[in-house]
């Protein structure tokens, strides 16, 4: 029973939005770890946290794209070719980066939270934007077997 559930949640291609969102949260968690680690490391090297967040974003974006293609949306071909797919994926991510930067600034400078706590809050909010935008704009079609 557990094996079937794990297979359904992580292995079998699906277009079911709830399973895809579950996988996206898992992928987002992995990407967040990469993003936050790069952010923290860059701050330790002396970069301002908003500049460091851009470097973390790039590392997290690459991680998220690769894992999302492998786990979340593999059952759905993109509506465009691979280069355009990544460009659209990155554009959606850039909007997410803009939101992240605004939220980081707000929670760090206005609310006076530590920048890493601000990052966690911003990541949770931006995760929803990224998933919905990518699901609706890039991977809205049916699987090849449907």
* Nearest one of 2, 4, 1, 146 to 75, comparing CA atoms: 146
State the pTM of this model.
0.75
Per-residue pLDDT of the chain (146 residues; tens, 9 = 90+): 577 877 777 778 777 888 888 888 888 899 999 999 999 999 999 999 999 999 999 999 889 888 887 887 766 565 567 778 788 888 998 899 999 999 999 999 999 999 999 999 999 999 888 888 888 887 776 444 43
Can you tell me whether residue 93 is helix, strand or coil?
A: helix
Structural contact between residues 73 and 139, judged by C-beta atoms closer than 8 angstroms: yes
In the chain, domain spans: 18-137
């Amino acid at each position: 029973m557990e094996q079937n559930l794990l297979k359904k949640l992580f292995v079998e291609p699906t277009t079911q939005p709830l399973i895809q969102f579950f996988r996206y949260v898992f992928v987002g968690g992995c990407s967040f770890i990469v993003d936050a680690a790069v952010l923290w490391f860059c701050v330790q090297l002396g970069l301002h946290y908003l500049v460091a967040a851009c470097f973390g974003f790039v590392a997290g974006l690459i991680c998220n794209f690769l894992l999302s293609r492998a786990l979340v949306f593999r059952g759905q071909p993109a509506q465009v070719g691979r280069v355009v797919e990544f460009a659209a994926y990155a554009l959606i991510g850039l909007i997410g980066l803009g939101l992240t930067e605004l939220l980081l600034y707000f929670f760090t400078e206005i609310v006076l939270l530590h920048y890493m706590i601000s990052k966690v809050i911003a990541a949770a909010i931006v995760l929803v934007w990224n998933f919905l935008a990518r699901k609706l704009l890039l991977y809205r079609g049916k699987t090849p077997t449907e």
